[in-house]
């Protein structure tokens, strides 16, 4: 590559024989033309694109939950970017050029709070009931931690957010899901948020639900 110092005014980019002429930061630059770019579709790049293709569209389905539940992130980082960062590797299985979502590993929340214990789940038709009977406040757990359920229906681009109880109080909550076609799948997750410290927990997968 050569940088040309001249009074010649030039803008744009052209190829002359085997030389490429272009302007970079106000300087005229000559470089050798490279007819063969080294492996623009390497195995690593192909895998990365496949994983991105699997995860990125999910934000539309989980956004209602994720905007609330992703508490701990870099100051200038969006919750969408944090969601992709958390899930692009850990929540996808890649083989033969295809990446599939591992719904049990998907994270719709993020933070350092302790996980929840002793949550039971029941379903009657499309009404889901969650019962917390832990009432534990030891270690990194705090009585003011709030326990939430996130329900994600990716085929319908829908997510539901349900408050169950505080960590120091046994309690239950029910939700009747929206009317979606029979056979629609929903994935159910649990996490905690502390409104005082603005911290959260990682996601715990509970189960899946098939609409009836």
Q: Which of 16-25, 41-50, 90-99 has the lowest mean pLDDT?
A: 16-25
Average the pLDDT over 141-147 and give the result: 88
Tokens encoding 150: 């996130």
More confident residue, 73 or 38: 73
Vertex 64 angle, CA 172 and 77, to 5°: 120
Q: Are strands 171-176 and 19-24 parallel, antiparallel or unpaired?
A: unpaired
109 and 65 Cβ atoms separated by less than 8 Å: yes
Give the position of tokens 């329900």: 151
More confident residue, 196 or 9: 196
Most confident of 10-14, 68-72, 132-136: 68-72
**pLDDT score of 120:** 96
Say what percent of the chain tops pLDDT 90: 67
| Domain boundaries along the sequence of the chain | 2-32, 43-210
pTM to 2 decimal places? 0.78
pLDDT bin (cut points 50, 70, 90) of residue 142 is confident
Q: For residues 54 and 101, what is the distance between their CA atoms, to the nearest angstrom?
A: 6
Class of the CATH domain delimited by 43-210: mainly beta
Digit-coded pLDDT (tens) for 163-188: 999 999 999 999 999 999 999 999 99
Is residue 40 pLDDT above 70, yes or no? no
pLDDT bin (cut points 50, 70, 90) of residue 6 is very low
What is 116-162 written as a DSSP string?
P--EEEEEETTEEEEEE------TT--TTPEEEEEEEEGGGTEEEEE
Strand partners, 98: 95
Is residue 66 pLDDT above 80, yes or no? yes
pLDDT bin (cut points 50, 70, 90) of residue 25 is low
**pLDDT score of 42:** 80
Instruction: Give me the helices (H) in the chain, please.
Output: 43-55, 59-69, 79-87
In degrees rounded to 5, what are phi and psi of residue 67? -65, -25
Average the pLDDT over 38-54 and give the result: 83
90 and 107 Cβ atoms separated by less than 8 Å: yes
**pLDDT score of 5:** 46
């Amino acid at each position: 590559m050569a940088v040309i110092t001249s009074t010649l005014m030039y803008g744009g980019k052209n190829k002359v024989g085997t030389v490429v002429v272009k302007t970079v930061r106000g300087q005229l630059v000559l470089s050798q033309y490279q007819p063969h770019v080294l492996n623009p579709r390497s195995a690593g790049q192909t895998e990365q694109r496949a994983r991105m293709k699997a995860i990125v569209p999910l934000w539309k389905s989980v956004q209602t939950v994720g905007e609330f539940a992703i508490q701990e992130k870099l100051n200038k980082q969006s919750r969408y970017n944090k969601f992709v960062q958390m899930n692009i590797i850990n929540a996808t299985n890649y083989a033969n050029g295809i990446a599939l979502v591992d719904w049990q590993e998907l994270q719709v929340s993020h933070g350092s709070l302790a996980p929840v214990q002793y949550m039971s789940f029941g379903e009657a038709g499309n009404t889901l009931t969650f019962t917390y009977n832990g009432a534990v406040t030891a270690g990194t757990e705090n009585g003011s931690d709030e326990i939430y359920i996130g329900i994600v229906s990716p085929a319908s681009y829908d997510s539901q957010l349900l408050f169950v109880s505080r960590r120091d109080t046994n309690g239950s909550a029910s939700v009747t899901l929206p009317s979606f076609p029979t056979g629609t799948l929903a994935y159910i997750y649990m996490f905690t948020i502390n409104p005082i410290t603005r911290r959260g927990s990682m996601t715990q997968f509970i189960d899946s639900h098939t609409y009836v």
